[in-house]
Structure 1
Amino acid sequence: MTMQRKIILSDRVDLMRALPALEKAANLRQMKASMLSMAGANQKGTPFWFVVQTAERREKSVEERLAKENIRCFLPLIDGGKAVRRHRVVKLLDRPALPGYLLVNLVPSAAAFCGLRRVDGVTGIVGGLENPHRVADEDLNRFKIKLGTWDAKAVHAEAFHVGDWVRFDEGPFIGFSGRIGKIHTAYAVRGMPKIAIAGTVELTIGEQRHVIKAPLALLVKL
């Protein structure tokens, strides 16, 4: 009985010691939720489009998390192409046009951006919290049209090479220039040689350095 009583007392002491930490964690979760709600679609004011950077292959999970919080977002996708599996040609799922990036539409505020930054899978806000990069509605609309007509067979461009300076001519990074660090190729048609479809572009936005994999259709050579 004595031993059992000591264990019970010990559990109570441990719980009392843990309460401040538990309360702090609960308050922190509540604060995060409150800040994220400031990015919701029901906020008063004029909303604009901004770009969120995500961890590798976390674009979709971040999009789903934001959608649950009533935050309007847009994950640009392109045709995933085809692959041969077990001697059969299968269509692959659509893939992000700009891996690691997601657009969100919100009324800008410090709380909203801080709330976004704390979402699991989000690694940053393009342009930074103080001066986030804003995407014009007309630029985004043209980008959506471009994605809707995107064809891997039509974007083959022998003119692009590693080391070339290019400028984004469409999409959320329109107007920004950088240097191609890598050319990405793929099979557009089974049995035919690979063609260049995308390039990894190194550029600077504000004080941030970004390495962006983008379809060549969005780029023009300088």
Structure 2
Amino acid sequence: MDTLQWYVLKVISKQEEKIKSSLQVELLKEGLQHRVGEVFIPYEKVYEIRAGKKTIKNRNKCPGYIFLQADLSNSLFLLMQLLRRIRGILGFLGVEGWKATDAPLPLSQVEVDRFIGKASESDPVDVKLATIFMVGEVVEIIDGPFVGFSGEIEEIFEEKKTLNVVVKIFDERSTPVELRYTQVKKLL
């Protein structure tokens, strides 16, 4: 098990979870589960605002790909045959088609840390916003003391996940207000 390395499988997009389940079942059937450590789909949590309600949703960071931790040193041919039989798996990233003679290249440690290391369950949740805001854009305030007002974005503070919005109060007085991303929604 000390020769496990991370590889990337190309799969049909939007079917990653189904393919992952099929792969795990087939590995158990064939007795090859000792050659595979983990099958991983990297997700990120994003805010979505629909009908004025805030929800947190998981979004696939790499649609069309599944990360596979495997030992390909002794069982490349067996594992390739198993993967070829699973509907939806298109092959290894970096290998053209299903050539059993071409061993796929493992991910470097930097790539592993970027995709797998930061997405582990024990890390603090870093929530991103599904909607991207821009300076000068008009937004409606949906939470807080200024609910119902609209204003123009003056500044964006990405690290704090807040916006500086200029709100017109009493039709004349412009007041800058700092709001969280989740307190506003774009006006269409």
TM-score (norm 2): 0.51
Aligned to 2:93: 126
Q: Distance in 2 between matches of 1:56 and 1:97?
A: 12
Deviations 1:100-155 (A, max 9, x none): 101001111122123213211212211114141311345313434544564435xx
1:215 aligned partner: none
State the match for 1:181 in structure 2: none
| Cα distance change on mapping 1:94 and 1:132 into 2, 3 Å | same
Aligned partner of 1:59 in structure 2 is: 16
Which protein has the bigger strand share? 2
Name the structure 2 match of 1:73: 39
Residue 48 of structure 1 contacts residue 136 of structure 1 at CA under 8 Å; is this kept in 2? no
Name the % identity. 18
What's the TM-score, normalizing by structure 1?
0.44
Give the equivalent residue in structure 2 for 1:82. Answer: 48
Distance 2:77 2:126 in 1: 36
Please name the residue that 2:161 is paired with: none
Give me the whole-angstrom Cα distance separating, in 1, the residues matched to 2:105 and 2:52: 44
Aligned match of 2:147:
none
Q: Is the 8 A contact 2:47 2:56 kept in 1?
A: yes
Contact 1:113 1:125 in 2 (8 A): no
Q: In structure 2, what is the equivalent of residue 96 of structure 1?
A: 60
Superposition pairs for residues 1-222 of structure 1, below 5 Å?
Answer: 46-68=3-25, 69=27, 70=33, 71=36, 72-84=38-50, 87=51, 89-108=53-72, 109-128=76-95, 129=99, 130-147=102-119, 150-152=126-128, 189=182, 190-192=184-186
Q: Is residue 117–residue 125 contact of structure 1 (8 Å, CA) maintained in 2?
A: no
d(CA) in 2 for partners of 1:114 and 1:135? 22
Residues 143 and 45 (structure 1), Cα distance of their counterparts in 2 relative to 1, 3 Å cut? closer
Residue deviations 1:128-184 (CA, integer Å, cap 9, x gap): 14141311345313434544564435xx699xxxxxxxxxxxxxxxxxxxxxxxxxx
* Corresponding residue number in structure 2 for 1:22: none
Structure 1, gaps ≥5 residues long: 1-43, 159-187, 195-222
Structure 2 alignment gaps of length 5 or more: 28-32, 135-180
